[in-house]
Structure 1
Amino acid sequence: RNVLAGTLPMATHLRQEVVDDRSTWSKMVVVRGDRPDAAAILTHFDVTDELTSIEELQVALREAEWLRQALDDYAQLTITDRKGKILEVNESLCELSGFAADELVGKNHRILNAGDNPRGLWMEIWKTLSEGRVWSGEICNRRKDGEFYWVEATFVPYVDPHGRVEKYAALRFDITDLRRSKLELERVTRRLECATKGARVGIWDYCPRTRTMRWDATCHELHESQGAAGDNMLPYLLGLLGEEDAIHVPAKLDTLADRGEGFEATFCLTLPRSGIRYMRVSGTPEHDENGEFWVTGTVRDVTEQHLAEERLDLAMRNARIGLWDWHVKTGETYFSDTFYTMLGYAPGELPMKVDTWSDLVRPGPQGRSSFRPRGYHRPHRRSHRFVPQRASRAEERRGVDLDPGRGPGDRTQSRRRRAARDWRAH
């Protein structure tokens, strides 16, 4: 009626259902006819593609707005022209930098530069952007109050239809706390490296799953492996060990890792330049940040200590000197191997306790030892008669250790001494 009454033409969209549950849209336009036999003219146009495109565009705009909101909440955004003048900033950047938006817009991007970045960094950034490529990296910025902060930045160029960079967007994520933690970790690592290098203690890692072993610099130095190729040092280590150790060490490491047990042991190695050396190795199983199981430990050269202990043990065996150590408070007692063999027993055959000593002492006016703590506060010497598997007379001599809580000493057979005195007398 409106059209026939002479008002403006009418236009509307009509939805039509077709097969396969698909809909089509048409645009109907009604205009007044200019002939007596045509009161009105209706025209239909298929606008399905047009309306679908509009709907998809609206969805894309809503998603873009949603992403923009997410960026505003978690990232700092600046949009800059190709000369470096700031065109737009978001609220997150203002909060982090301490600048208001009107203090940044229109200013050069250098207002945020801390001046503490590597030389040539900005030249590299501008060169990358001018070529239409994306640049990412860490940048040190400065707040309005002068305090430095670190960001993980990504610069994305916007290229016009002619291939020229018109502007670019910079996304920044605050990594100041992460950067400080990283620097602190580096400082701790350097101090640890200095300490281990000064003490000549190497650090190693072993992965049971892949059977790979990693060494630090001191570990390489101790094993004279500077020329060895590859990151896995296990094959090199096995080549330094004796045949028996080379067979059992990997399996032993795997077993300890499965049990979650630590270990400490001394190994004999044949190094390329220094020859035979003794290494004291300790390890502890642990999980890394990825859940991978590793055995981490230390190694140090104990060759001099090992040889000194061997010489001392050999000297005491040849001199037939037996050592004992009694902890008065705990009752813990130690007897050396020579102590056992001097009495005709195999090493470890008798229990290491004070009662063992008392049971072996032959009763008599000078024989029984009371083991009273008050009598062991100063060095002294006594002679005892023992009841071993083969009879002998022994002399107990108190050591020079004045610790009132310990009672170390030695036991020597006196027959040889009496024979020496008789020989000198004649």
Structure 2
Amino acid sequence: MFVSESINNKNETTMSTMVFKVAVLGGGISGAVCASTLARNGVSVTLFESARGPGGRMSQRREKTEDGKELHFDHGAPFFSVSKPEVMRLVQEWQSRGLVAEWKEKFGSFDFQTLKFDNIEQEGLSKRFVGVPGMNSICKALCNENGVESKFGAGVGRVEWLDDEKLWSLIGVDGQSLGRFKGLVASDKNIVSTRITEVTGRLPPLDLKLLPGLSEKLHNIPVRPCFALMLAFAEPLSTIPVKGFSIKNSKILSSAYCDSSKPDRSTTSERWVLHSTAEYAENIIAQTGLKKPSDATLNKVAEELFQEFQSTEANISQPFFKRAHRWGSAFPDASIAQEEKCVWDRSKRLAICGDFCVSPNVEGAIDSGFAAALRLKDISASSL
């Protein structure tokens, strides 16, 4: 009896001293905040991102002109605003580290019915934050913090729950094992949404049959597609009275921002990023499908967006660089867990977070990632 009790005690001790390892899927701002918060609280974190670097729609695009000039564009989220105190505390810390700065410029709107700029704000009236020297700087720093092991270019093909061992097993798209983990965070809606099947032809990595109580909510998260147009001009567009504006009464354009006017950006050229309306993007996708768009399609989109930009009658010159990019599913059109801030399954130690949980913006993504980290931090502490 004594021997048996000793063995059981030894096994319990071994289990209690095992490192609580968590896998975070997705290197956008939600996943990066979650991974960083967990690591700061002593949890072992491995972050997997299929892209070459972190950022998601906070990525910075690097382009080269025909003559070899290098250009940078924040072609996803142009900036973010903050209203919640807990998110502001994080942003203030990032400011103190030189990762974030205020974008203090005039903003307004343009009405295609009147062909006039209006609602022009005073400089710095509303606080708009940007990453410096690029929007992806925040995610880069968080993914490289002590305690976070980041693996880029590491696509997860399948996620399995090992019921006997109460562990998550990750398998890469190449069929190789990526490890086993006590906790799992899915910060990319493509991990769970069946919409990814239309793009890749593969099922989402996380089988929603594992989450019968949540599958209806997660099955097909609605999104708003968008095309971004990146433009570079040799001379400033001096006839435009603002550095960023929303657009009213256009079926093609929704907004335009002068990327080179942000803090710590190169001013050797004036660079603008235009975003299409969801309606325009949906029409193009209906014609061409969700597969990666062809060069011909992107060239057509670039020309149509630029022509609409010229229609503002702001005497816009020809750019020396012009390229379109499609965001097929980056902008969510729903908030599925506003009060909880993340989708949580305690029995499987699984959190699903992102802007589609709280609010479809950068602040919502930060808030959701932080909430997911706190859930896993608490359960990791109780398991010790």
TM value normalised by structure 2:
0.17
Which protein has the larger Cα radius of gyration, Structure 1 or Structure 2?
1
Greater RCO, CA 8 A, separation 6+ = 2
**Higher fraction of strand:** 1
TM value normalised by structure 1:
0.16
